[in-house]
Structure 1
Amino acid sequence: MDPGVVDLSRLQFALTALYHFLFVPLTLGLSFMLVIMEAVYVMTDRPIWRVITRFWSKLFAINFVLGVATGLTMEFQFGTNWSYFSHYVGDIFGAPLAIEGLMAFFLEATFVGLMFFGWNKMSKLAHLGVTFMVALGTNLSALWILVANGWMQNPAGATFNPETMRMEISDFGTVLFNPIAQAKFVHTVSAGYVCAAVFVLGISALYLLRGKYVGVAKRSMAVAAAFGLASSLSVVVLGDESGYALTDNQKMKLAAIEAAWHTAPAPAGITLIGIPDVAARTTRYAVEVPWVLGLIATRSLDTEVTGMSELVLKAQERITSGVVAYDAVQKLKTDPTNVRERARFELHKRDLGYALLLKAHVADPRLASPKLIAVTAWDVVPNVPLMFWSFRAMAFIGFYMIALFATAFVLASLRRHDSTRWFLRIALYSIPLPWIAIELGWMLAEIGRQPWAIEGVLPTFLATSTLSVAALWTTIIGFTVLYGALAVIEVRLMIAAIRKGPFEHVDDPVPDQSDTVVVPILPVAA
């Protein structure tokens, strides 16, 4: 495979995924915030909460539309740019994507129209139920997508069939309840909730700084403070659980994140900062806190965190074993009834994917020398400096979010969140930070899996379609131009909706201390 085609295919998917993920988190979080706001309206019957819910639902709608459009582009790429991936693992990977489309997406797409246009056509309680179904569908959609992605990180519940030369499902329950998928789902949706809470907090702060729509902004900020504090705490706790899942299933990713070049005595210390040196395979100027990594990664004081050098030696052993499985598969192609070769394959089939790594260097893995196998084993190490610093930037933002929402919650409890201008400015300027953390988290998950498209099963360089470099550049440029224009439109629509404010006909008619809203009576033509 042409390395240029592989790199451009990866670049294109990264661009579409990163772009799509600008919209998904806000949709995930804002949907449930709408449920909370509308529930307050139903319980209190105060018209201002209806105004608040309808205002944020407009911003939700703008974001929702572009999220759907970019998501479709991503799924089409599995057929256009990653056709061998789709052929090789489509039996497993396609199932959760199909369920997502048939169950979750249709659910939210059906109810989203009722949510927007059903305000005056159904009871308050029925409309609240519709809003909840939209939120449920949105989050179920994320669940099935992350089940598919979690299987890519930890391909449990599937096995290679030498008769069809494809991976096939052996236990769908194991695919569904994959520990990596569960950890990724709760961590990802919590991050989406934080993203939405910061968005509502920041826009509300903008209104309060300008002295506009004070009644709406104060209440929106109070909801965002409570929702965001709970969500930001969940992100850190569930992120820790996600890291613990790596200890059993993705040890190389964990070692790369911590720049752990060698196995340290238990309990391992965590490196706060340092400069990973790939050439020397060490971390220079490291500032380490003893015991912490061992406690986080293993939940014990006597279990080691395996370093990259030792993991490379294990990869070397698995490549050697995989060559045996590869040889057995080639012989089973010509004689499927060969009992001896079938037994050899069954004994070594777990390592078949590691033998495929050799195809980056030699057409037939069986011809690889021990020296080439030793060199290839280092291919399983991802980009350590990128992993190391991305994680630390993401973690810093995560703890900053806790401090931000804790401050917001205290100020809201003291009813000073509308007058503490220094905090309002901080809240406004913090709006981009959750998106930065979320994009860094996606990079950690996907780059940390390299060189695998499917961890331990299918190398990325074998998963692409047969495309030309010119075709890839054409689609990348076309995507950038088209979705760049859509991004400009989306931002302009968001800004226009924010400038217009929550009231459709007049400026904020609510006095600062009032819990009610004066609804203007418009003349009706005879």
Structure 2
Amino acid sequence: MIDPMVVDLSRWQFAATALYHFLFVPLTLGLSFMLAAMETVYVTTGRTIYRDMAQFWGKLFLINFALGVATGLTMEFQFGTNWAFYSSFVGDIFGAPLAIEGLMAFFMESTFVGLMVFGWSRLSKAQHLSVTYLVALGSNLSAVWILVANGFMQDPQGAMFNPATMRMELASFADLIFSHDAQSKFVHTSIAGFVTAAIFVCGVSAYYMLRGRHLAIAKRSFRMAALFGVLSSAGVITLGDALGFVGAHAHPSKLVAMEGIWHTEKPPVGFNLIAIPNEAEMRNDYALRIPYLTSLLVTRSLDEPVPSAEELVERAQGRIRSGIQAVTALKALQSEPDDAEARARFEAHQDDLGYGFLVGLYAQDQDPALATETDILLAARDAIPNMAMVFWSFRVMVAAGLLMLTFFILAVIFTLRNDVEHHRGFLRFSLLMIPVPFIACEAGWLVAEIGRQPWTVYEILPTWMSVSTHSVTHLVFSLTGFVLLYSTFIAIEMYLMVKFIRQGPTDHDRTPAITATAK
């Protein structure tokens, strides 16, 4: 018997470590390519100011990279410690991208980071530039494999269930890698990292301009980041819409939570700009709508239907009943593998096996065969994720994205007019913008992960079945320890970042000859 409190605490622990870790990842992804861009200008023009820019921002990159690695290590181990059944059930599929990611991150990426940091005086310009690009490429390729693994959880492709082993087995590595969810999510996440890095560089550069320090580096860094950011923010919004379009077809329950659609409506369907979802009564207590917009975003038409929570709950009830047949047939096959009737019944209902597992949480003795109609209804209601959390997290992410696009448009205008240092109000606003992309990234993670519930692997393995058999006391202790440890990592990151930002780069403004050359 699985204690629901163990499930909740296991989820809280993974969420806490993932949210902490994801504070470091986007900056690493984006800043690595910004370093490569700065060094490219240095190599092609020979202007040493761009080398000093790359070296200064490289220090901040290294701090963030080191702590990102430290926080990421424990996340992968949690699959074995807290999610043992999940690891056993889908390890054949999930383990492959994680193993490749480990090779990418801890061999390729870490090796080239060392060469990038210590190779300035030991490598030629071209060699060091190549190393910097390999660091950037390695960082982003590392993210590919993590998102391939996550993409399988969101939209399982390339795998099949083997009733003899009671495990999912890899059927097509190509389908696993090139699933629409995994590839769309990778591009969206990587470009979100570019936006994060651009905001960070603009904010720190604004800090120097407000204090009249390191102006040569600050103005050039701000300009490069603004141009980098305006393209990236436009891209992340466009690709986010594409990801939503893909998700709408692969994962409709997440869609209805994002859009706050409880009841089936005749198209075209309006967009809930603001709503107060009422989970208990399956309705919105209040909604401010934009006509037609949801239909245009989700179906690209005005006459195609848009799914609703009501429709999905009804569909889930039918699939649960079918899934119960699959579970009972599977049990019969475990007892008698040659039972032809049980095998035929399992094959007829195996697509709904996950829904049979889902109702087990509510059934007597957690046995789906003993589920009542009330149990089936409760499980079917669970098929819709927490509407309020997904709905508002999605809107926080979108609002932050539009705010950042507006910021970058203004930043590009001011920097191309070469008078950004005179707009002191805008520079102060640039400092306030630094947390915004991190908030957007965290909100996006919440949309993706809460929106997948109640599944660990969508429509195949319910979250309640995936956990290890720990005690509540054990999980409270480990959760507390992780929160304290990761809070310490955040404090170390903030301390080191502030220390080196205050210290600043090499000051060109104090050496007239160098300043003249740089200009």
Structure 2 SS opposite 1:300: coil
1:482 to 480, 485, 501: 485
Alignment partner, residue 258 of structure 1: 259
Moved more, 370-379 or 30-39: 370-379
2:458 to 449, 455, 460: 455
Distance 2:516 2:60 in 1: 23
Structure 2 SS opposite 1:271: strand
Letter in 2 for 1:390: S
Alignment partner, residue 396 of structure 2: 393
Distance 2:127 2:155 in 1: 41
Distance 1:165 1:327 in 2: 14
Does the CA-based 8 Å contact 1:111-1:133 persist in structure 2?
yes
Deviation at 1:105, TM superposition (A): 3.8
Check 1:268–1:54 CA distance in 2 against 1; reply closer, same or farther (3 A cut).
Answer: same
Distance 2:516 2:313 in 1: 64
Check 1:54–1:338 CA distance in 2 against 1; reply closer, same or farther (3 A cut).
Answer: same
Q: Does 1:294 align with 2:300?
A: no
Deviation at 1:191, TM superposition (A): 0.9
Moved more, 385-394 or 218-227: 385-394
Moved more, 117-126 or 485-494: 485-494
Letter in 2 for 1:304: P
Moved more, 324-333 or 202-211: 324-333
Letter in 2 for 1:192: G
Gaps of 5+ in 2: none
Check 1:289–1:125 CA distance in 2 against 1; reply closer, same or farther (3 A cut).
Answer: same
Letter in 2 for 1:449: R
Deviation at 1:418, TM superposition (A): 2.0
Does the CA-based 8 Å contact 1:270-1:288 persist in structure 2?
yes
> Percent of aligned positions with the same letter in both sequences?
53
Q: Does 1:501 align with 2:504?
A: yes
Structure 2 SS opposite 1:272: strand
Distance 2:231 2:222 in 1: 14
Deviation at 1:288, TM superposition (A): 1.0
Structure 2 SS opposite 1:191: helix
Does the CA-based 8 Å contact 2:385-2:452 persist in structure 1?
yes
TM-score by length of 1: 0.96
Does the CA-based 8 Å contact 2:508-2:515 persist in structure 1?
no
Does the CA-based 8 Å contact 2:414-2:420 persist in structure 1?
yes
Deviation at 1:405, TM superposition (A): 0.4
1:366 to 365, 369, 373: 369
Q: Does 1:183 align with 2:184?
A: yes
Check 1:339–1:511 CA distance in 2 against 1; reply closer, same or farther (3 A cut).
Answer: farther
TM-score by length of 2: 0.97
Alignment partner, residue 442 of structure 2: 439
Check 1:53–1:10 CA distance in 2 against 1; reply closer, same or farther (3 A cut).
Answer: same
Does the CA-based 8 Å contact 1:267-1:301 persist in structure 2?
yes
Distance 1:421 1:482 in 2: 38
Deviation at 1:443, TM superposition (A): 0.6
Does the CA-based 8 Å contact 1:198-1:431 persist in structure 2?
yes
Distance 2:374 2:495 in 1: 58
Check 1:256–1:263 CA distance in 2 against 1; reply closer, same or farther (3 A cut).
Answer: same
Deviation at 1:481, TM superposition (A): 2.1
Moved more, 222-231 or 283-292: 283-292
Moved more, 338-347 or 323-332: 338-347
Alignment partner, residue 170 of structure 2: 169
Does the CA-based 8 Å contact 2:119-2:128 persist in structure 1?
yes
Q: Does 1:143 align with 2:144?
A: yes
Check 1:484–1:390 CA distance in 2 against 1; reply closer, same or farther (3 A cut).
Answer: same
Does the CA-based 8 Å contact 1:105-1:137 persist in structure 2?
no
Q: Does 1:125 align with 2:126?
A: yes
Alignment partner, residue 202 of structure 2: 201
Distance 1:38 1:180 in 2: 34
Check 1:513–1:287 CA distance in 2 against 1; reply closer, same or farther (3 A cut).
Answer: farther
Distance 2:37 2:516 in 1: 17
Distance 1:228 1:346 in 2: 51
Distance 1:95 1:82 in 2: 17
Alignment partner, residue 55 of structure 2: 54
Structure 2 SS opposite 1:418: helix
Does the CA-based 8 Å contact 2:509-2:515 persist in structure 1?
no
Does the CA-based 8 Å contact 2:394-2:447 persist in structure 1?
yes
Check 1:433–1:69 CA distance in 2 against 1; reply closer, same or farther (3 A cut).
Answer: same
Alignment partner, residue 43 of structure 2: 42
Does the CA-based 8 Å contact 2:42-2:51 persist in structure 1?
yes
Distance 1:3 1:39 in 2: 54
Distance 2:280 2:331 in 1: 37
Alignment partner, residue 523 of structure 1: none
Distance 1:373 1:269 in 2: 31
Distance 2:497 2:378 in 1: 52
Moved more, 198-207 or 279-288: 279-288
Distance 1:512 1:194 in 2: 35
Does the CA-based 8 Å contact 1:47-1:517 persist in structure 2?
yes
Gaps of 5+ in 1: 519-526
Structure 2 SS opposite 1:516: helix
Deviation at 1:375, TM superposition (A): 2.6
